[in-house]
Amino acid sequence: MNVTTADLVLWVAFPYVCLAVFAVGHVWRYRQDQFGWTTHTSQLLERRWLRWGSPLFHLGAFAVIAGHVVGLAVPASWTEAVGVSEHAYHTTAVWLGSVAGVAMLTGLGMLCARRLLTRRIRLTTDRSDKVMFPLLSATVVLGISATATHNVFGGGYDYRETVSVWFRGVFALQPRPEAMTGAPLLFQLHALTACLLFAAWPFTRLVHVWSAPIGYLARPYLVYRRRAQPAAGPGFRGEPGGRSRARARREAADGPGPGAVRPADRDSWPMPARRAGRGR
Amino acid sequence: MPRGEATIGRVMAQVAMVMNLDKCIGCHTCSVTCKQTWTNRTGVEYAWFNNVETKPGVGYPRRYEDQEHWKGGWMLDKRGRLVLRSGGRVRRLLSLFSNPDLPAIEDYYEPVTYDYDNLVSAPAGEDLPVARPRSVLTGRPTAVTWGANWEDGLGGAPEHAAGDPNLTGAWAEKVRFEFEQTFLFHLPRLCEHCLNPACVSACPSGAMYKRVEDGIVLVDQNRCRGWRMCVTACPYKKVYVNHATGKAEKCTFCFPRVEAGQPTVCSETCVGRLRYLGLLLYDADKVGEAAATPDEQDLLDAQRGVFLDPHDPEVRAAARESGIPEDWLEAARRSPVYDLVMRYKVALPLHPEYRTMPMVWYVPPLSPVLDAVDAAGGDQDDPDHVFAAVTRLRIPLEYLAELFTAGDADVVAGVLMKLTALRSYMRERTLGEAGDEAALKAVGLTAREAEDLHRLLAVAKYQDRYVVPAAHKEDAAALTATENRCPVETPGEPAQDGGRRVMLGIPTLRRTSTGDRA
């Protein structure tokens, strides 16, 4: 199979550029714009659409992401090895994928609708949203269309022999553009918009994904912080030995024990010291 | 000082506030100066870190005290453990996508501005030009239908006041049908800077914290990710979502001023001189236990049991061990808040049944009872009449008890009798009489204490009301940064001190949509 320059650009150069922007962009944003790093919640302004749209989208997205990890990262030979036949795999993937995809698409549709139709929300929409929402929608719609066209209504297309091979090649630093050249157009477009989405990711509200507050499950309820580290002298010590047992008991009982005393890396201030230009 | 035989744990200092409600005239100066200082920005137009409510009334946001609905604060579960009313940790994470218990902007009010430009730019005509209201959220003309103090002075009370969550059953009827005879008082509210803050406990990002040095509860703007669980968890609804930045904001207790030894803006500008600021020392290791006290009506005593007597040498030694500086201990001894809360016991917490251990306390108003005495044809100045009213007039008393003592009317009656005795004794003294100490004795005051309490409550000199020790420079490198922050600087203004300019997070979108940007 011949690999043209266009293929090299589309399936090697472009993905790597997008991934580089993704990585460097995140480092830059995290260091420069903690104040802008937020979900940018708009539930205060509109709640009826959000009530259904947001959980549908997010839960659907979790399932879809899990499906992509299995479908792209796990080679077909591995699933065969544990006794999952090609047919069983695809039947399951199509069914679960369709349910998750429809949930995600419905949710995203509702979230887009409220953003477009509710004037209050439309006015809070900033430039990054105007890039992110269309890009995310395009990626989702293309992905669902590809599955529907080829695997639900079509004769069946085994992307694990092509798209997945290309995907793994990118991360294994052994690019295999030829694996992608033969894939149907919808799969190709889906992969390209996904690359673009990853490139835009660090500059949009999608960064909140990396702040999923899992640590909350293990944290003491109360958080104390010092204004700054104490100077030398009889300072306040976070864990005086004689009393830690009582506190441990209380925390075990899920009560609000005085938690870890952390130094304040920076003081709270409703008016932030720095705000990266977000066009508003 | 009922400390029992237990040893003293970690001693912490808290800058706390007491408000003497009898002196509040409901002028909203505190709210306005607070707003000018902290929330005159896009995204928090609707937010009042300090607001003044008329009671009875539904409050701001509407019916915020109805925790069955809003799920604020703590409660005891079936096994008697202290849990957030909004649910456990897992449940909270599951409701991140859509928080079912978050007030909508309508529960506060839709913020408006006015077409001021029309006043000067309208063409000459028969009629005076008017400035019509425009929604700040949509930029479109709107009708003003609610506000943070919509029921000011019982305005609209026949329609709304029965919705006050503190009025139940027969009272609601009485207020609805006899509103012109009902009592009225003002209740200024701000963040309670609780000892057991529910907002901090509910914050999934760990962005909210209580400061070790002075107990002020703050939101780290750099760590807040906009999960909005704090808004639900706060039973006083004093954490707000900034809808422009997507982050939580709350009353800061004017920490830059407090660090400099100055009173908060709301205190400084209070024309009724009803606010008191001072330190309270408390045993941080006892907070969780006190907040889990089984009977709601014991929570007041439990919270008082957490506070420590700064005159006690043992407490002073423990405080030094915990790193509290000497001048702070001295300030704690002179604290007017300690006197009102612990020594004279005339101040009460707002809704102790929320179990957050709030630290803004109130001297309950005598005026509802005095009004009732007047209405019944009695003599306000005769303590016997007032005592009789305190014991017989259940409605104002039980209402105050709902607010301040989880329904224990006897405690409120005790405070009101103390105030009545003080009032009558000092009245006689002022008129040159000897003063009847029998009434004082009945409420547990000596003549000397009565003079002191009278000086604190009625004379209320500035230096008696505000005893705020300055923060210690040696342990606060961050203070240097604070000093150079000017809250009125905006992008585009020339830098003043050597180019150190601080940009404000003021998005300009809304400003242009309402046309009020120069």
Name the 3-class secondary structure at A45. Answer: coil
- Give a yes or no: residue A269 inside a domain: no
Determine which of A232-246, B252-266, B437-451 has the lowest per-residue pLDDT on average: A232-246
Statement to judge: residues A40 and A134 lie in one domain: yes
User: Is the Cβ–Cβ distance between B157 and B164 less than 8 Å?
Assistant: no
- The two tokens of residue A90 are 């695809």
Q: Domain-by-domain residue ranges, chain B?
A: 25-109+146-259, 272-465, 478-518
Q: Tell me the C-alpha distance between B217 and B191, whole Å.
A: 8
Statement to judge: residues A166 and A202 lie in one domain: yes
Q: What is the pLDDT of residue B434?
A: 85
Statement to judge: residues A69 and A141 lie in one domain: yes
Determine, for residues B477 and A47 on separate chains, whether the beta-carbon distance falls below 8 Å. no
User: Is the Cβ–Cβ distance between B149 and B52 less than 8 Å?
Assistant: yes
Determine, for residues B206 and A123 on separate chains, whether the beta-carbon distance falls below 8 Å. no
**pLDDT score of B476 more than 70:** no
Statement to judge: residues A201 and A251 lie in one domain: no
Distances from the Cα of B385 to the Cαs of A261, B369, B372, in angstroms?
Answer: 54, 10, 10
Which chain B residues are within 8 Å of A106, Cβ to Cβ? none
Fold of B25-109+146-259: Alpha-Beta Plaits (3.30.70)
User: Is the Cβ–Cβ distance between A133 and A81 less than 8 Å?
Assistant: no
- Give a yes or no: residue A277 inside a domain: no
User: Is the Cβ–Cβ distance between B194 and B233 less than 8 Å?
Assistant: no
Statement to judge: residues A75 and A192 lie in one domain: yes
Among B518, B517, B515, which Cα is nearest to B141's? B515
Q: Report which secondary-structure segment, H or E, holds B363.
A: strand B360-363
Name the 3-class secondary structure at A253. Answer: coil
pLDDT digits (tens, 9 = 90+) for B167-185: 876 666 666 666 656 788 9
Write out the residue range of the structural domain in which residue A108 sits: 5-212
**CA angle, corner A177, sides to A173 and A181, nearest 5?**
160
Give the closest-approach CA distance of A19 to chain B in angstroms. 24
Give the closest-approach CA distance of B294 to chain A in angstroms. 14
Which residue from B minimizes the CA distance to A228?
Answer: B476
Statement to judge: residues A248 and A111 lie in one domain: no
Which residue from A minimizes the CA distance to B283?
Answer: A258
Give the CATH architecture of domain B272-465: 2-Layer Sandwich (3.30)
A-B contacts at Cβ under 8 angstroms:
242
Statement to judge: residues A62 and A151 lie in one domain: yes
Q: Tell me the C-alpha distance between B114 and B513, whole Å.
A: 12
Cβ under 8 Å to B: A residues 2-31 = none
Q: What is the mean pLDDT of each run of 10 residues along chain A (280 residues)?
A: 87 97 97 94 96 97 96 90 89 93 97 96 94 97 95 87 95 94 95 98 97 95 80 34 39 39 41 38
ipTM of model over 0.90? no
Which chain A residues are within 8 Å of B227, Cβ to Cβ? 39, 41, 213
Q: Looking at residue A14, what DSSP letter applies?
A: H
Which chain B residues are within 8 Å of A39, Cβ to Cβ? 225-227, 246
Q: What is the pLDDT of residue B398?
A: 87
Q: What is the pLDDT of residue A246?
A: 41
User: Is the Cβ–Cβ distance between B209 and B217 less than 8 Å?
Assistant: yes
pLDDT digits (tens, 9 = 90+) for B24-73: 999 999 999 999 999 999 999 999 999 999 998 899 999 999 999 999 99
**Mean of pLDDT over chain B:** 88
- Record the pTM: 0.86
Q: What is the pLDDT of residue B373?
A: 84
Cβ under 8 Å to B: A residues 52-81 = 52, 54-55, 57-59
**CA angle, corner B197, sides to B193 and B397, nearest 5?**
70
Q: Tell me the C-alpha distance between B11 and B285, whole Å.
A: 8
Which chain A residues are within 8 Å of B321, Cβ to Cβ? 234
Strands (E), B172-287: 185-189, 208-211, 217-219, 239-242, 247-250, 275-283
Cβ under 8 Å to B: A residues 108-137 = 119-120, 123-124, 126
Which chain B residues are within 8 Å of A225, Cβ to Cβ? 209-212
The predicted model gives B336-347 an average pLDDT of: 98
* Residue B170, CB-side half-sphere exposure with 13 Å CA sphere: 4
**pLDDT score of B506 more than 60:** no
**Going by DSSP bridges, is the β-strand pair A224-226/B208-211 parallel, antiparallel, or unpaired?**
parallel
Distances from the Cα of A233 to the Cαs of A240, B304, B479, in angstroms?
Answer: 16, 31, 19
Percent of chain B's residues with pLDDT above 70 = 87
Tell me which of A42, A44, A204, A280 to substitute to probe the interface with B (most B C-beta atoms closer than 10 Å).
Answer: A44
Which chain B residues are within 8 Å of A254, Cβ to Cβ? 81-83, 88
Cis preceding linkage at B61, omega within 30 = yes
Number of domains in chain A: 2
**pLDDT score of B358 more than 60:** yes
Give the relative orientation of helices B367-375 and B383-392 as an angle to the nearest 10 degrees.
Answer: 100
Determine, for residues A38 and B247 on separate chains, whether the beta-carbon distance falls below 8 Å. yes
Amino acid at B415: V
Q: What is the pLDDT of residue B154?
A: 81
Q: Tell me the C-alpha distance between B465 and B263, whole Å.
A: 9
Give the closest-approach CA distance of A141 to chain B in angstroms. 22
Distances from the Cα of A248 to the Cαs of A223, B11, B113, in angstroms?
Answer: 15, 18, 52
Q: Looking at residue B296, what DSSP letter applies?
A: G
pLDDT digits (tens, 9 = 90+) for B456-472: 999 999 999 999 999 98
- Give a yes or no: residue A207 inside a domain: yes
User: Is the Cβ–Cβ distance between B227 and B205 less than 8 Å?
Assistant: yes
Q: What is the pLDDT of residue A265?
A: 38
